[in-house]
């Protein structure tokens, strides 16, 4: 095992050998780890794919082929969740193009957001999102950054009753909004929330994650690498020996910390690079750190 190599070393070695990083751990299990969605008991794989920036591309054959490769890897490894938003410009259309290029819609859990003001505008936007992604049903519709929550949650619930949406959610990406998110979690009882959480941004541990457990709300995690800052923090450093049983790269180290939290359902790292996708997927296999190991990981990162 490549226990003491950094992310770049693992990826370069994988390329040289013609193999994809992350598969060593993957071979220890037959399927990606899953966690139940509290509202239904449905199993959700612990590693998904975010599309912010990385799917905002022209729908050229090369660009769609690359994104299809990434999504194919996700599905082949047992993952299924794709998260997007109208705010991400062309990303919803690109997801639709990837599905049209041959990815089976039934293999995907499509999560998007409503990001506008007013009932009519929200309903129109949600319909457009479904059309762009070439799906009749959206698996998860989230109110993006708590924008006009009361109005949109009512519409989402109506669309759930009509069979157009399966789950409801609320999102934000900053620690400063977590108090407001907590209040809206209690007021509107979404089935999912999406927040920022990582070794570099642990504020959610104080209130939001415990509240999600208490209310039975599934949790998606954005910014799992803190927009690349975590990799900068460990640049030139080797993985600690104590992580050898559960991580082959820094990316997997960071993701394992996240998905091992009992309240977290799925992490959604974004990437436009197939070799990074393969590395991220490796975090979905093998053992997860226990509470004592999580404390050790956090202490190690704080010591850097």
User: What integer pLDDT is reported at residue 151 of this predicted model?
Assistant: 98
Residue with tokens 């923090």: 233
Render pLDDT for 246-304 as a digit per residue (tens, 0 to 9): 999 999 999 999 999 999 999 999 999 999 999 999 999 999 999 999 999 999 999 99
| Residue matched to tokens 């197939």 | 274
The pLDDT confidence band at residue 15, using thresholds 50, 70 and 90, is: very low
What's the pLDDT score for residue 275? 96
- With tokens 């259309």, the residue in question is 93
Neighbours of 189 (CB within 10 A): 13
pTM for this one? 0.91
Q: Is the distance from CB of 169 to CB of 193 less than 8 angstroms? A: yes
Distances (CA, A) of 240 to 115, 127, 230, 250, 295: 42, 48, 15, 10, 14
pLDDT in tens, 116-127: 999 999 999 999
- Inform me whether the pLDDT recorded for 190 exceeds 60: yes
Structure tokens at 304: 């850097």
pLDDT per residue as tens digits for the range 94-135: 999 999 999 999 999 999 999 999 999 999 999 999 999 999
pLDDT at 234: 97
Q: At 180, is the secondary structure helix, strand, or coil?
A: helix
**Sorting pLDDT into bands at 50, 70 and 90, what band is 20?**
very low
Q: What is the pLDDT of residue 1?
A: 30
Predicted confidence at residue 12, as pLDDT, reads 43
Cβ–Cβ < 8 Å for 252, 22:
yes
* Contact between 221 and 195 (Cβ < 8 Å): yes
Residue 5: per-residue pLDDT? 35
Domain 7-27+34-303, what architecture?
Answer: Alpha-Beta Barrel (3.20)
127 Cβ contact list (under 8 Å, min separation 6): none
Query: Are 297 and 289 within 8 A, CB to CB?
Result: yes
Q: What is the mean pLDDT of residues 184-209?
A: 98
54 near 272, Cβ under 8 Å?
A: yes
| Residue 60 pLDDT level (bands cut at 50, 70, 90) | very high
- The predicted pLDDT at position 195 comes to 98
φ, ψ of residue 270 to 5 degrees: the values are -100, 140
Rounded Cα–Cα distance for residues 95 and 110 (Å)? 9
Predicted local confidence at residue 7, as pLDDT: 41
């Amino acid at each position: 095992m490549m226990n003491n190599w950094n992310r770049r070393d693992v990826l370069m070695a994988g390329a040289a050998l013609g193999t994809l990083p992350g598969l060593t751990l993957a071979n220890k299990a037959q399927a990606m780890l899953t966690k139940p969605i509290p509202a239904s008991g449905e199993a959700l794989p612990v590693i998904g794919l975010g599309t912010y920036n990385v799917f905002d591309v022209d729908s050229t054959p090369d660009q769609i082929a690359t994104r299809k490769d990434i999504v194919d890897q996700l599905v082949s490894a047992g993952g299924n969740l794709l998260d997007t938003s109208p705010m991400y410009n062309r990303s919803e259309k690109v997801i639709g193009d990837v599905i049209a290029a041959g990815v089976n819609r039934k293999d995907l859990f499509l999560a998007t957001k409503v990001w506008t003001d007013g009932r009519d505008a929200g309903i129109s936007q949600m319909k457009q999102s479904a059309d762009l992604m070439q799906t009749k049903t959206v698996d998860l519709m989230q109110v993006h950054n708590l924008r006009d929550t009361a109005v949109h949650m009512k519409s989402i619930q109506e669309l759930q009753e009509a069979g157009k949406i399966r789950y409801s959610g609320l999102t934000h990406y900053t620690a400063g909004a977590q108090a407001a998110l907590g209040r809206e979690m209690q007021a509107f009882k979404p089935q999912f929330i999406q927040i920022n959480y990582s070794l570099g941004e642990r504020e959610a541990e104080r209130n939001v994650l415990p509240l999600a457990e208490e209310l039975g709300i599934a949790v998606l995690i954005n910014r799992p690498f803190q927009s690349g800052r975590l990799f900068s923090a460990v640049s030139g450093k080797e993985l600690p020996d104590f992580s050898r049983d559960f991580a082959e790269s820094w990316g997997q180290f960071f993701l394992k910390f996240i998905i091992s939290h009992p309240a977290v359902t799925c992490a959604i790292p974004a990437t436009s690079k197939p070799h990074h996708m393969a590395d991220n997927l490796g975090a979905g296999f093998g053992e997860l750190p226990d509470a004592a190991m999580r404390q050790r990981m956090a202490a190690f990162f704080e010591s850097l």
